[in-house]
Amino acid sequence: MNQILVTEKIYVTPELKRKKKLYKFLFILSIFLIISLCSVYIYAEYDRNKDESISKNILAFMDEQDNTTISKDENALIVKLTQDATLNAEEYEKESEQNANKLSYGGAVTSKYTAPDGTEYEYIGRIVIPKIGVDYPILSDTSVELLKVSVCKFHGGNPNEVGNLCIAGHNYRNSRFFSKVDTLSVGDIIEITDLSKRTIQYEIYDIHTVNENDRSDTTQYTNGRKEVTLITCTDDGEQRIIVRSAEKK
């Protein structure tokens, strides 16, 4: 028996046409949004890397200055001993230490690095945290732009002085700046080098979180101790992680 195949004709209604156009538009829009978001993320990462590279240039500049200073000091020692034979090595060392103390404690001491684009960055020292691989210059002031470049002095005096040097840094939830500060523990070491090339180790004695407007940990009442306080955001940005440390004896 022969079978008759009947093909049902589908009528495209105006409503179906509108839905088809809408789906096509939404698909194109979603692709556009995905590309835009990826572009923004890639640019943000590039911008962060570019800004952070300035801090590496500052460190290289600091190392170069250190080597130059050592060379000048050695030459100065030779000239000094030649000019004044009565000045022995012990007296010279004492005089050099006094001059270094004047440099370190005589007010707001900063040094300056000029980037290739002409931008100037003032720094007051260097922070190293061996456990989490932190090694950055400490910029002398805090601003939105400076925090993209390196960690910054938030409050307090000069490095390695009596008081509480508060240092702020971004938490990018990766390995940059203070992102891994939340993995530190009591007893870990923070090293601060000032502009007189003196390095002091600070031992962490307290870690806690506070509300973003809580400034109690920036107090300068330290009972005559040298302290360093690190400040960064929690991963959700809602609170601040506080790491308190004091000079290791």
pLDDT in tens, 113-155: 999 999 999 999 999 999 999 999 999 999 999 999 999 999 9
pLDDT at 74 over 80: no
CATH number, position 82: 2.40.260.10
Number of helices and strands (H, E) in the chain?
A: 3, 9
| 173 within a domain of the structure (yes/no) | yes
Domain residue limits at 171 = 50-247
| 3 within a domain of the structure (yes/no) | no
Kindly state the tokens that stand for 226: 């040298």
Helix axes 14-83, 89-105, angle to 10 degrees: 150
How deeply is 182 buried, as exposed, middle or buried, from its count of CB atoms within 10 A (0-12, 13-18, 19+)? middle
Query: CB-hemisphere CA count at 13 Å for 206?
Result: 11
Give me the residues paired with residue 166 across strands: 155, 229
Average predicted confidence (pLDDT) for the chain: 80
Angle ∠(48,41,211) on CA atoms, nearest 5: 65
Residue with tokens 């911008």: 47
Average pLDDT over residues 14-39: 70
pLDDT at 79 over 50: no
H or E element, residue 239: strand 239-247
Answer whether 240's CB lies under 8 Å from 210's CB. Answer: yes
Model confidence over 99-113: pLDDT tens digits?
Answer: 444 343 445 589 999
| 15 within a domain of the structure (yes/no) | no
Q: Phi first, then psi: what are they for 132, rounded to 5°?
A: -115, 10
Of 52-56, 92-96, 175-179, 232-236, give the lowest mean pLDDT range.
92-96
Q: What pLDDT, on the 0 to 100 scale, is given for residue 179? A: 96
- For the chain, the domain total comes to 1
| 232 within a domain of the structure (yes/no) | yes
Of 37-41, 70-74, 111-115, give the lowest mean pLDDT range.
70-74
Query: CB-hemisphere CA count at 13 Å for 200?
Result: 21
| 7 within a domain of the structure (yes/no) | no
| 8 within a domain of the structure (yes/no) | no
Cβ neighbors of 151 (< 8 A, separation 6 or more) are: 127, 134, 136, 137, 138, 139, 167, 168, 169, 177, 178
Kindly state the tokens that stand for 244: 């308190």
3-state SS assignment for residue 10: coil
**Cα separation of 209 and 65, whole Å?**
38
> Measuring CA to CA, which residue among 192, 195, 191 is closest to residue 65?
195
